Amino acid sequence: MARRTRRELDIADHLWDCLTRIAEDCGTDRHAVVNQAVYEFARRFNFLTPMAKEVPPPDHQVGPGRSNGVSADARRSAAPKAKPVEKPRKTLYVVNSAGDMHKIDKDTFIIGRSRTCDLVIPSSKVSRQHSGICRENGEHYIEDLGSANGVWKDGVKIQKEKVKDGDEFMISEEVLKFIFR
């Protein structure tokens, strides 16, 4: 979570009223709207570059190429016909433009501006439930949930597409990068 420090701003009354209406329409508070506006302004003029936060690896992994404290010879002699080690499934993460990384660990992961979404994008250009990430037969797909402004990949509006490692999709002005780990 980003650190927030209380600041004091002089805002014209008509803009304050507008800010209040935007926050109500987005289902969020004025602070989130102001932060989003400043962020968009800073990004538009190249004052910040989104960077993914690293997710620490699990403390202990056992599998091909991993050591669990037992030598390879001891493992081979311990079991004459050991079952093949299943390749662990990689977990899907989404990194937003601010660099925040979110784990997608459920069958349906909703992205939108509503507070009830799994990933909230506080922008009036984003629908309440804009898109969803669904898991089907072990594969992940991103799907537009009937949003007004759509989901875009490489300048093309998509309805439903399989998510691959490193894919970037745009929802409004928010770039979402998907990473498997």
Give the model's pLDDT for residue 73. Answer: 57
Chain position carrying tokens 């072990």:
138
pTM of the predicted structure, to 2 decimals: 0.54
Give the model's pLDDT for residue 164. Answer: 95
Number of Cα atoms under 13 Å in the Cβ half of residue 52: 17
Helix, strand, coil abundance in the chain, percent, nearest 5: 20, 25, 55
Give the model's pLDDT for residue 77. Answer: 56
C-alpha distances (whole Å) from 5 to each of 2, 27, 34, 112, 159 are 10, 23, 13, 26, 40
Q: Report the SS3 class of residue 99.
A: coil
Q: Strands 168-171 and 174-180: what pairing?
A: antiparallel
For each successive 10 residues of the chain (181 residues), what is the average pLDDT? Answer: 76 86 79 78 62 47 44 54 62 90 92 93 94 93 94 94 95 94 87
C-alpha distances (whole Å) from 100 to each of 52, 96, 118, 119, 121 are 6, 6, 13, 10, 12
